[in-house]
Amino acid sequence: ALPSEYKDHVRIAVIGGTGIQDLPGFTKVASLDIDTPWGKPSSPITILHHQCSVSGKDVPVAFLSRHGTHHQIAPHEVPNRANIAALRSVGVRTVIAFSAVGSLQEAIKPRDFVVPDQIIDRTKGVRPFTFFEGGVVAHVPFGDPFDENVAKVVRACGHSLEGEGVVLHDRGTLVCMEGPQFSTRAESNMYRSFGGSVINMSALPESKLAREAELAYQMICMSTDYDCWHESTADVTVEMVMGNMKANAVNARRFVGAVLDALALDSNAETVNAKHLEGGVKFGISTPQT
């Protein structure tokens, strides 16, 4: 169970993707086995204790491993509704989501980080993608799929680590494909012609469900390969993705630490509490309310 001093204080969550199954270096204070109306999340939600290295303030952080504790859940099998509902149920309002991505642009090199600001949906509709169905109709705005307030904090943190080897691209269009197979070369080139910057299999419906749950959500992408369009590098393989993730783990950890430090500052409390998103769903429901 969640120790009483943490109840109603967990506002920030980190969702770890491929290569980030846990967050070493943080003290674990609880592991919550949560059940939701949409089933169980990908992994227990661990509550970690983070001490802000700037203010000294103690901040609890929820951590969820998207592909399971042992990377046993394929992208199309991730229980996204349970994940988002479970995080929301412990009080989370802001989600920092990590993802390994393929690069669709020469300038985004393997091991670079990207803070995407747009998404192109290339999933195939096989993943449950909304909380609203069975009699409740809602349409939430999604023109900007990520939270710009959180993005600003994340970008500043990434740039503060430039001297330590973090290369950050401030914006980008993320193509989210169905998978689990990688793209064909023709598809990869089509995504480039769409203006895609990077490609993954995990941004959707996670980000849509976060919006429906009124959570501030920002993905941090870590480039691991040039997919299969690049003429002078080998086509993407799992080995390539894992190898670059592993090589970049220290930077990813530094990046998370810096983001959590920044989000713990009082000056960012409003961003973290996602006050600006409150009521978004209430006004999006088009079913007559009695």
Identify whether 227 is a catalytic site residue. Answer: yes
Segment contacting ligand ADE (CB under 6 A): 55-63, 197-205, 258-266, 276-284?
197-205
Site for ligand ADE in 199-228 (CB under 6 A): 199-201, 224-225, 227
Identify whether 117 is a catalytic site residue. Answer: no
Sole residue written with tokens 């999933």: 123
Token output for 67: 């592909």
Q: Give dist(CA 18, CA 124) in Å, integer.
A: 21
Based on the shown chain and the rule CB under 6 A, indicate whether residue 149 belongs to the binding site for ligand ADE: no
Token output for 139: 């349409």
Based on the shown chain and the rule CB under 6 A, indicate whether residue 260 belongs to the binding site for ligand ADE: no
Based on the shown chain and the rule CB under 6 A, indicate whether residue 146 belongs to the binding site for ligand ADE: no
Based on the shown chain and the rule CB under 6 A, indicate whether residue 101 belongs to the binding site for ligand ADE: yes
- Choose, by CB under 6 A, the member of 236, 252, 258, 263 that binds ligand ADE: 236
Query: Quick count: other Cβ atoms within 10 Å of Cβ 208?
Result: 22
Burial 65-85 (b: 16+ CB within 10 A, else e): bbbbeeeebebeebbbbbbbb
Select which of 112, 117, 225, 261 is catalytic.
225
Site for ligand ADE in 59-88 (CB under 6 A): none
Give the bridge partners for 225, in sequence order.
Answer: 102
Based on the shown chain and the rule CB under 6 A, indicate whether residue 241 belongs to the binding site for ligand ADE: yes
Handedness of CA 278, 280, 283, 284 (dihedral sign): negative
For residues 156 to 185, the per-residue mask of contacts with ligand ADE, x marking binding by CB under 6 A and - elsewhere, is: ---------------------x----x---
Element (H, E) at 153: helix 148-160
Alpha carbon dihedral 133, 135, 138, 139, in 10-degree steps, equals 60
Return residues touching ligand ADE (CB under 6 A).
100-102, 177, 182, 199-201, 224-225, 227, 236, 241
Known catalytic residues are 225, 227
